[in-house]
C-alpha cells in the first residue's frame, strides 16, 4: 500500500528519492516559483491542507503537470492529424499520437538510465506537439510567413493612415533593450506604435537567438497550455518555468546560454498576471527530449517509408541506407540493424550511445557540481547529447530521408498541395466576412470551454485584427486534418 505522509514535501521527496543529482526536482532552491511568479511550495503545501489534497496523493507537482497535459483536449487532437508517405502508387499513414508515444518511450529510457526525472521529461514530450498545426512539416513555414506578412500589411496601413510611427525604441516600456537584444526580425520590421504594441501583446514571442519565426509548434504549444486564446487571459492553472521552456524549445540544435532565450508577457486579467521564463530554465531532461524528437522522427519515417518502397521497388530502404553508409564511420550494431531491417536495433543504438556519452559528461561534472547549475551558467562542457559518431549516423539518416523519402514525387506534390490548403484555411479564418471563428467561439461555449461572459468577450476581441490573426493560428492548431479540408471545401483528407 502507498505510504501516508502528513507533510506534502515528505511525500514528494519519497517519490523523487531515486532521482540523481542532475535531475529536475519538484522543489528546488534556485527555481522556487511558477511561470506567473507564485511560490510552488506554498501553493502545494496549502492545497495539501485542504480536502483537495486527494488530487496530490501519490503525485509530485511535476507529475501533476504531466497529467494536466496528458488529459488535455489538445493532446487528443493528435489522433486526428496524420503523416502520409508515398512510394509510387503505395502509401502509408500514421497519426501524431504514434510519434508522441514512441518519442516518450525513447525519452523515458534515456532518463531512467541517467537517473533524470522521466515523468517531467514525459510532460515536455506530450506538450511539445500540442501546438502543431495539421500537416505540420508542410504548414509551419507557411503559417509563420503568413503571420509576418499580415503584420507588415497592418503596419503599413497604420503608417499610411498617419498613425504614430515607432521612431525610437526607447519609448516602449519593455523589459529589454530593443536596440541591443536579439529581438525577432518581424518585430523589428514594424514601424507603427499601434501594430508593435498589439503584436507584443497578442502574439507569443521571445528575446534571444533563433526566435525569428512568428510560429513554431513549441511556441504555440506553450500558448495553448498556459492561456485562454479566445480571451487573451492566463490559464486557470500555472506551470513550472522549466516545463514551459522545455516545451517551447523542444527542437534540437537551438542555441544555449543565458542570453539565448527570454519570454515575458502580461495578460489583461484581474488581477494582471505576468508570465516569464528564460534559458536559465534549461534542464537535462529537455535536452534528452530534443534528441528523442529527431531520433524518433528519423527512425519512424525510415520504417514507415520502407513498406511502400519495398512494395513499389521490390527492395529495402534499409539496404539502400546501409550501402550509402559503407564509407562512413558506422558502428557494427548499426550495420546489423540495417541488414536486418530492424528499427528496434536502431533505437537501441541511439539510446545506448546517448546514455554512454551523457554519462561520461555527467561523471566529469560530478566532482565540481552536484546539480545542474553548471548547465544553466553557460558551461558548454555541461551539455549532453549523442557522441560524434551517434550524431553523424543521425545526420546521415536525416539526409537520406530528405533525398529518398521526402524527395519522392508524390510526397513532394502532396506537400505542395498541403501548403496551398493551409494558406487557404488560415486566410478564411482571418477573413472578417467568414463566420468560422464566431462559430468556433459558440462551439466552445456550448461545450463548456467558455462561459457566456467569456464568449461575449471573445466575440468583442475579434474586432482587433492582430488578435484575430493570432486566434486564427490558435484555431488552426486545434483543428483536425479533416476539419481543415472541410474548411476550404476539399472533399477528403487523403
Residue 47 lies in a domain: no
Single pTM value for the model: 0.93
What CATH number does the domain containing 250 carry?
1.10.3210.10
**DSSP E strands, 79-219:** 82-87, 90-95, 207-208
Cell of 301: 519515417
**Cα within 13 Å of Cα(81), Cβ side:** 27
Q: Does residue 220 fall inside a structural domain?
A: yes
Q: What is the grid cell recorded at 199?
A: 503584436
CB-based contacts of 283: which residues, under 8 Å, 6+ apart?
24, 120, 242, 245, 246, 372, 375
Query: Is 194 a member of any domain?
Result: yes
The tens-digit pLDDT sequence of the chain (494 residues) is 567 788 999 999 999 999 999 999 999 988 999 999 999 999 999 999 998 888 889 999 999 999 999 998 888 888 888 888 777 777 788 888 999 999 999 999 999 999 999 999 999 999 999 999 999 888 999 999 999 999 999 999 888 877 556 545 444 445 555 455 677 888 888 888 888 888 988 999 998 888 989 999 999 999 999 999 999 888 888 999 999 999 999 999 998 888 889 999 988 766 788 999 999 999 999 999 999 999 999 999 999 988 888 888 888 999 999 998 888 889 999 999 999 999 999 999 999 999 999 999 999 887 666 778 888 887 888 999 999 999 999 999 999 999 988 888 888 888 899 999 999 999 999 999 989 999 999 999 999 999 999 999 999 999 999 999 999 999 999 999 999 999 998 776 55
Quick check: is 44 in a domain?
A: no
Q: How far, in Å, CA of 98 to CA of 102, rounded?
A: 6
Residue 409 lies in a domain: yes
Q: How far apart are CA 263 and CA 215, in angstroms?
A: 14
**176 belongs to a structural domain:** yes
CA 87 to CA 339: how far, in whole Å? 21
For Cα atoms 96, 493, 139, give the angle at the middle one, nearest 5 degrees. Answer: 60
Asked if residue 49 belongs to a domain, the reply is no
Exposure b/e, 350-389, CB count within 10 A at least 16 = b: bbbbbbebbeebbeebeeebebbebbbeeeeebebbbeeb
In angstroms, the CA 92 to CA 85 distance is: 5
Residue 458 lies in a domain: yes
Residue 367 confidence (pLDDT): 67
Cα torsion 374, 376, 380, 386 to 10°: value is: 100
Residue 267: per-residue pLDDT: 86
The structural domain count of the chain equals: 1
Q: Cell for 320?
A: 539502400
Question: The domain containing residue 438 runs over which residues?
Answer: 59-494
Amino acid at each position: 500500500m502507498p505510504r501516508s505522509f502528513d507533510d506534502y514535501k515528505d511525500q514528494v521527496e519519497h517519490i523523487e528519492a531515486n532521482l540523481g543529482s542532475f535531475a529536475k526536482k519538484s522543489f528546488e532552491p534556485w527555481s522556487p516559483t511558477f511561470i506567473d511568479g507564485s511560490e510552488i511550495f506554498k501553493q502545494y503545501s496549502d492545497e495539501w491542507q485542504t480536502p483537495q489534497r486527494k488530487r496530490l496523493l501519490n503525485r509530485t507537482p511535476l507529475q501533476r503537470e504531466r497529467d494536466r497535459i496528458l488529459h488535455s483536449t489538445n493532446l487528443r487532437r493528435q489522433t486526428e492529424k496524420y503523416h502520409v508517405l508515398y512510394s509510387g502508387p503505395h502509401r502509408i499513414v500514421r497519426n501524431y499520437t504514434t510519434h508522441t508515444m514512441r518519442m516518450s518511450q525513447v525519452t523515458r529510457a534515456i532518463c531512467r538510465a541517467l537517473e533524470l526525472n522521466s515523468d517531467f521529461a514525459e510532460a515536455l514530450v506530450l506538450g511539445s506537439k500540442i501546438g502543431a498545426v495539421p500537416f505540420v512539416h508542410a504548414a509551419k513555414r507557411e503559417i509563420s510567413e503568413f503571420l509576418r506578412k499580415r503584420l507588415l500589411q497592418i503596419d503599413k496601413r497604420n503608417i499610411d493612415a498617419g498613425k504614430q510611427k515607432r521612431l525610437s525604441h526607447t519609448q516602449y516600456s519593455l523589459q529589454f533593450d530593443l536596440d541591443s537584444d536579439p529581438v525577432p526580425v518581424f518585430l523589428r520590421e514594424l514601424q507603427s506604435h499601434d501594430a508593435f504594441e498589439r503584436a507584443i501583446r497578442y502574439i507569443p514571442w521571445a528575446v534571444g537567438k533563433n526566435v525569428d519565426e512568428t510560429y513554431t509548434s513549441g511556441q504555440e504549444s506553450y500558448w495553448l497550455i498556459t492561456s485562454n486564446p479566445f480571451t487573451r487571459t492566463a490559464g486557470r492553472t500555472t506551470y513550472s518555468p522549466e516545463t514551459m521552456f522545455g516545451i517551447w524549445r523542444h527542437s534540437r540544435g537551438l542555441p544555449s546560454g543565458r542570453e539565448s532565450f527570454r519570454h515575458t508577457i502580461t495578460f489583461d486579467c484581474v488581477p494582471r498576471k505576468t508570465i516569464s521564463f528564460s534559458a536559465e530554465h534549461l534542464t537535462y531532461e529537455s535536452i534528452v527530449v530534443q534528441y528523442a524528437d529527431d531520433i524518433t522522427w528519423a527512425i519512424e519515417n525510415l520504417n514507415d517509408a520502407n513498406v511502400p518502397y519495398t512494395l513499389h521497388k521490390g527492395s529495402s530502404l534499409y539496404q539502400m541506407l546501409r550501402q550509402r553508409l559503407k564509407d562512413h564511420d558506422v558502428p557494427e550494431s548499426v550495420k546489423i540493424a540495417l541488414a536486418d531491417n530492424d528499427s528496434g536495433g536502431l533505437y537501441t543504438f541511439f539510446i545506448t550511445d546517448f546514455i554512454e556519452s551523457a554519462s561520461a559528461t555527467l561523471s566529469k561534472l560530478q566532482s565540481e557540481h552536484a546539480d545542474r547549475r553548471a548547465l544553466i551558467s553557460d558551461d558548454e562542457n555541461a551539455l549532453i547529447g549523442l557522441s560524434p559518431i551517434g550524431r553523424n549516423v543521425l545526420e546521415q539518416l536525416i539526409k537520406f530521408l530528405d533525398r529518398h523519402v521526402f524527395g519522392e514525387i508524390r510526397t513532394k506534390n502532396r506537400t505542395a498541395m498541403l501548403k496551398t490548403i493551409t494558406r487557404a484555411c488560415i486566410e478564411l479564418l482571418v477573413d472578417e466576412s467568414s463566420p468560422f471563428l464566431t462559430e468556433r467561439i459558440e462551439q466552445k461555449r456550448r461545450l463548456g470551454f467558455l462561459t457566456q461572459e467569456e464568449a461575449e468577450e471573445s466575440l468583442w476581441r475579434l474586432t482587433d485584427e492582430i488578435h484575430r490573426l493570432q486566434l486564427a493560428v490558435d484555431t488552426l492548431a486545434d483543428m483536425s486534418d479533416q476539419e481543415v479540408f472541410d474548411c476550404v471545401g476539399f472533399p477528403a483528407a487523403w
